[in-house]
Amino acid sequence: MRTLQRKSIEYRKTILRIIKAANAGHTAGSLSCIDILNVLYNYVMDITPQNFSSPQRDRYIQSKGHSVEALYVVLADKGFFPAAELDTLGRFRSHFVGHPTRKVPGIEHNTGALGHGLSVSVGLALGAKYRGSPHRVFTLLGDGELAEGSSWEALMAAGHYQLDNLVIIVDRNRLQITGSTEDVMGLEPLADKFAAFGCAVRSCDGNDVEALTQALEQLPFVRGKPNLLLAQTTKGKGVSFMEDVARWHHRVPADEEYAAALRELETAEMTL
């Protein structure tokens, strides 16, 4: 567990570094979901550079594509490409653009327009069932993203086809660009809505790697039902002045802010 916790801090530092260097990025959303990606890639999913062309590998679709920095950092750590390539983020002609694309090794699908990933994941999960393959399909959604009606069309299909090989994780940080999700377009009672659509719903602290590993230890949650994990997260997690502050959605830290953020993360690392 200590190793995973240490990784989360390292990942956060790299996320901030590449966003700072590119002078662009979705800072708070990446910090919000990095613990989820950490646990998925290092504990739960069977996806490696070695098996990436095997039909049996697990699949990961990041529907909240804007938090691409978190994904790039984890894929670099898994060895999908040399970490130095991260420094080209946002540069002219770099494949490391501000949303996931298949030009980057390890990425399954191009995302960035919200409300697409769940439908594609339903297709992948149906495909696995039809082919009799045991692999699972994981997808990460933003909570603000759930206002897109297509998400609910996909959920209806997931329940209808009893896709228990589909694992839907919602980064429930309660913020979107404009402010609180509940002020912008209320989602609650969210767990009840998912349950009503036929999902097996679990909730856990989405910034606690131990809680995440426990929640995802046993899949499916219930046979014959799509798995839905409400990951209760804090947007901007790990940097006190970014936590739960809407404007950090796509703000780049100024020099002093960057230095202060790194200090906080280094302190956290030392006290681990």
Partner 1 sequence: MIAPAIGRANLEVFADTVLELARQDPSIMVVTSDSRGSGKLVPFGEELPDQIIEMGIAEQNLVGVAAGLAMSGATVFAVSPACFLTARALEQIKNDVAYSDHPVKLIGISAGVSYGALGATHHSIHDFAALRAINNVGIVVPADNFETREAIRAALAHARPLYIRYGKKPMLDLHSPDTRFEIGEAIVIREGEDLTFIATGEPTGRALLAAQNLEADGISCRVISMHTVKPLDMEALLYAARHSSAIITVEEHSIYGGLGEACAAILLQHGICLPFKIVAIPDDYTVTGDQLEIFDHYGISAAGLSAAARDLLAKG
Ligand X SMILES: Cc1ncc(C[n+]2csc(CCOP(=O)(O)OP(=O)(O)O)c2C)c(N)n1
Residues 141-180 close enough to bind partner 1 by CB under 8 A? 144-145, 147-149, 176-178
Which residue lies nearer to Mg ion by CB, 145 or 164? 145
Residue 42: name its binding partner from ligand X, Mg ion, partner 1, none (Cβ under 5 to 8 Å by kind). none
User: What is the number of other CB atoms lying within 10 angstroms of the CB of residue 183?
Assistant: 12
175 makes contact with ligand X (CB under 6 A) = yes
Single out the residue of 6, 17, 99, 202 in contact with partner 1 (rule: CB under 8 A). Answer: 99
> In one letter, which amino acid is 6?
R
Question: Which residue of 25, 100, 106, 142 would you call a contact of ligand X, by CB under 6 A?
Answer: 142
List Cα–Cα distances, 146 to 80, 115, 118, in angstroms: 30, 7, 10
Nearer to ligand X, 59 or 249 (CB): 249
Amino acid identity at 186: G
Residue 102 or 263: the one with the smaller Cβ distance to partner 1 is 102
Residue 263: name its binding partner from partner 1, Mg ion, ligand X, none (Cβ under 5 to 8 Å by kind). none
Residue 27 Cβ, how far from partner 1 at the closest point, in Å?
Answer: 14
Half-sphere exposure of 138 (CA within 13 A, CB side): 20
35 binds ligand X (CB under 6 A): no
Identified binder of Mg ion from the candidate list 108, 143, 148, 208, rule CB under 5 A: 143
Tell me whether residue 24 or residue 195 sits nearer to partner 1 (CB atom).
Answer: 24
Rounded to the nearest whole angstrom, what is the least distance from the CB of residue 94 to partner 1 in the complex?
A: 7
- 74: its two tokens: 């984890």
Question: How large is the greatest C-alpha to C-alpha distance in the chain, in angstroms?
Answer: 54
Q: Tell me which of 43, 81, 90, 162 binds partner 1, using CB under 8 A.
A: 90
Q: 211-270: which residues touch ligand X (CB under 6 A)?
A: 235, 249
- As a residue count, the chain comes to 272
Interface residue list for ligand X (CB under 6 A): 29, 32, 64, 66, 112-115, 142-145, 171, 173, 175-177, 235, 249
Interface residue list for partner 1 (CB under 8 A): 22, 24, 65, 90-94, 97-99, 101, 110-115, 144-145, 147-149, 176-178, 184-185
